């Protein structure tokens, strides 16, 4: 399976250098921070898969339930030749539910930063759906990437499941939705999975599972920094902390230093106070209204929402209409 590399930053982007620079910048900041996207190396991706099966972690299970129950209605009446574009396609479990519900889809474009993973998953998917054109794109879906030429002119429907949008700051979520509207173009649709504000006990339990998998997932980023950047984090000297910040409608994950200590990343010494934390993730929660308001302000009109009370799946339509004025702009 050929994977099309289309990063806005070009082909020569050195992931390792970027990782190192981000880690040094984040650990030199006050408060210290690391980007949530760095959780997902091979070990972290496996740990996340394990999280999705935990009894306390409801989002994956409930979203799958909604997709199974309402998949066909969610996809609506698809124009012939419609292509589905998935933003960040870690696992293909969810999109398979949509593909089964909408057999008339002509093409599937998974967009993911991990070219290797993308190639393997896309090949399996192509084998299972021989009549579907599978056109993987290796790109950072948070940047302005280009769609493969084969889907140009086709009706497009975007798919962004898993409440990954919750990892963005609200202003970043706004920028992402605007960019997606530009990428997908006039008259496109967008299906977005969004976790809901709810009882704090349910939220806190989902990020503090009894089996300690979320703790291992969080701590794995330090292990990754040790392995890939030659740092000397002592994983026993940090503890997983996760809590709901109601004022900001978000779960925060941190790694808390259990002692005053120094850690080295390459030749840099990073000092930690006892109790000091590295902020590793935000997972924003929305109400149906707060998400629809965000979408409306970012180029999308909400036209339908499906929910089970815990999670929501929104169907949006691009506010830009494919009219003459739009076409004149393109010329
Ligand atoms: C993949 C970002 C949706 O925020 O629930 C799970 C990641 N972090 N447990 C989430 C995560 C801790 C997850 N998202």
| Chain segment 17-71, per-residue pLDDT in tens | 999 999 999 999 999 999 998 998 889 989 999 999 999 999 999 999 999 999 8
Q: Which of 88-92, 243-247, 273-277 has the lowest mean pLDDT?
A: 88-92
pLDDT at 112: 87
Ligand 1: which of 53, 90, 219, 283 to mutate, judged by most atoms within 8 Å of the beta carbon? 283
pLDDT at 118: 76
For ligand 1, atom 10, name the residue with the nearest CA. Answer: 283
pLDDT at 1: 58
Distant-in-sequence contacts of 271-279, Cβ < 8 A, 24+ apart: 272/32, 276/31, 276/32, 277/31, 277/32, 277/241, 278/26, 278/27, 278/31, 278/32, 278/33, 278/34, 278/238, 278/254, 279/31, 279/32, 279/33, 279/34, 279/252, 279/253, 279/254
What Å distances lie between residue 113 and 6, 37, 40, 110, 228, CA to CA?
10, 10, 10, 10, 18
For ligand 1, atom 4, name the residue with the nearest CA. Answer: 283
User: In terms of pLDDT, which residue wins out, 15 or 53?
Assistant: 53
For ligand 1, atom 14, name the residue with the nearest CA. Answer: 164
For ligand 1, atom 2, name the residue with the nearest CA. Answer: 164
259-313 tens-digit pLDDT: 999 999 988 999 999 999 999 999 999 999 999 999 999 999 999 999 999 999 9
pLDDT at 328: 41
pLDDT at 72: 85
**In sequence order, what are the beta bridge partners of 306?**
313
107-112/133-134 β-pairing: parallel
pLDDT at 117: 64
Look at residue 9 and tell me whether its pLDDT is greater than 80: no
Q: Which of 54-68, 204-218, 315-329 has the lowest mean pLDDT?
A: 315-329
172-200 tens-digit pLDDT: 999 999 999 999 999 999 999 999 999 99
pLDDT at 330: 41
**In sequence order, what are the beta bridge partners of 257?**
238
108-152 tens-digit pLDDT: 999 987 777 677 888 999 999 999 999 999 888 888 899 999 998
Ligand 1: which of 245, 281, 284 to mutate, judged by most atoms within 8 Å of the beta carbon? 281
What ligand 1 atom has the least distance to the C-alpha of 163? 3
- Neighbouring CB atoms inside 10 A of 42's CB total 11
**CA 187 – ligand 1 centroid, Å:** 31
The ligand 1 site (C-beta within 6 Å) comprises 51, 59, 162-164, 166-167, 207, 214, 281, 283
**CA 139 – ligand 1 centroid, Å:** 21
**Per-residue confidence at 3, pLDDT binned at 50, 70, 90?**
low
**CA 48 – ligand 1 centroid, Å:** 8
Question: H or E element: which one contains 290?
Answer: helix 288-296
Q: Rg (Cα) of the chain, in Å, rounded?
A: 20
Q: Are 66 and 308 in contact (CB under 8 A)?
A: yes
pLDDT at 114: 74
């Amino acid at each position: 399976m050929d994977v099309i590399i289309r990063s806005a930053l070009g082909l020569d982007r050195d992931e390792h250098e970027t990782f190192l620079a981000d880690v040094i910048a984040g650990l030199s900041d006050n408060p210290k921070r690391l980007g949530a996207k760095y959780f997902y190396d091979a070990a972290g991706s496996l740990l996340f898969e394990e999280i999705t099966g935990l009894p306390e972690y409801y989002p994956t299970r409930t979203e799958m339930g909604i997709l199974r129950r309402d998949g066909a209605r969610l996809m609506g009446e698809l124009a012939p030749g419609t292509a589905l574009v998935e933003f960040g396609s870690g696992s293909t479990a969810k999109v398979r539910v949509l593909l089964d519900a909408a057999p008339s889809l002509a093409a599937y474009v998974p967009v993911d930063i991990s070219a290797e993973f993308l190639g393997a998953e896309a090949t399996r998917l192509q084998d299972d759906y021989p009549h579907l054109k599978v056109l993987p794109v290796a790109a950072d879906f948070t940047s302005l990437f280009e769609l493969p030429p084969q889907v140009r002119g086709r009706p497009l429907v975007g798919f962004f499941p898993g409440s990954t949008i919750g990892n963005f700051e609200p202003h970043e979520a706004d920028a992402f939705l605007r960019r997606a509207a530009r990428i997908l173009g006039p008259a496109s649709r967008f299906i977005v999975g969004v976790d809901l504000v709810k009882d704090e006990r349910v939220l806190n339990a989902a990020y503090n599972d009894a089996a300690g998998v979320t703790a291992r997932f969080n701590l794995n980023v330090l292990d990754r920094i040790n392995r890939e950047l030659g740092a000397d984090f002592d994983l026993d000297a940090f503890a997983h902390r996760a809590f709901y910040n109601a004022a900001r409608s978000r779960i925060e994950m941190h790694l808390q230093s259990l002692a005053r200590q120094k850690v080295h990343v390459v030749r840099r010494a990073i000092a930690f106070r006892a109790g000091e934390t590295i902020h590793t993730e935000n997972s924003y929660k929305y109400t149906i209204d707060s998400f629809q308001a965000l979408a409306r302000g970012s180029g999308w009109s909400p036209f339908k929402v499906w929910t089970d009370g815990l999670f929501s799946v929104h169907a949006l339509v691009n506010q830009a209409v494919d009219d003459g004025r739009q076409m004149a702009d393109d010329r």
